[in-house]
Copies of this chain bind each other. A is one copy, B any other.
Amino acid sequence: MPSIRKYTKDFGYSYSFGVFPTLELLTHRPEHVIKVVISPKGYKNHGIEEIQLLARKNHIEIEKSEGIVEKISGSENTYCFGIFKKFENHIEKNTQHVILVSPSDMGNLGTIMRTSLGFGYKDVVIIKPAADIFDPRTVRASMGSLFTIRFQYFSTFKDYQQQFPEQHLYSFMKDAKVSLEEASFEKPFSLIFGNESSGLSGEFRSVGTSIAIPQTKLVDSLNLSIAVGVGLFEAQRKAL
């Protein structure tokens, strides 16, 4: 591989910054790891010891350099990062899907993967255009969940629908037919959420059941990752 540079989207590889995401990478995707870089600052950190053990066990190169870790992560408080090859991934049938239509914020995308996994949703669908799932900011916000979940990009929602016709669809939008408090969910189901600024377009009102999360008029909307968190928790709790 070339010398280590700041990430851009066209790279064939990316970085996992921080101890926890790097541990997740080494645990779940060791075959994709190119190298691990550790700062001497982190030698006393218990997680760093674990990272070194896992890297050795998997015959992964360990480089030691405070300068590179700080330069590439842009943070003085990062002790290590992994370099990993980007990988393909596919979602499964007959499970619950989280569908994000054109998410644009990398922090949200990562947080949503972490939340999905936390509530037992292992399949995340992303409809393009969308934020880069491999951007280090996404990886970090996901706390390494990216390495455990299954994800798949589709060019259009129709493409997804044709491939998974058996899913029950629930579209989350402000101007919806049913309130989340009254909604019921039938498995296997897909929960659909729109873009941070624009939400889901009007045509989704007739895609399955449209659901609104009750909220006061004191805010314009909820943050996307909060809406997803509440929607995922409630759907799982109520599902038939």
By a beta-carbon cutoff of 8 Å, the part of chain A in contact with chain B is 20, 107, 111, 114-115, 117-120, 141, 143, 145, 148, 181, 213, 215-216, 218-223, 225-226, 229-230, 233-234, 237
Contacts and interface: CB of A to CB of B under 8 A. Distances in A.
A118 B229 contact: no
Contacts of A215: 118-119
Contact of A115 (B117, B148, B223): B223
Contacts of A220: 20, 143
24 contacts: A20-B220, A107-B107, A111-B223, A111-B226, A114-B223, A114-B226, A115-B222, A115-B223, A115-B226, A118-B219, A118-B221, A119-B215, A120-B216, A120-B218, A143-B219, A145-B219, A222-B229, A225-B225, A225-B226, A226-B226, A226-B229, A229-B229, A229-B230, A230-B230
Contacts of A111: 223, 226
Q: Report how many copies the assembly holds.
A: 2
A35 to B, nearest CB: 24
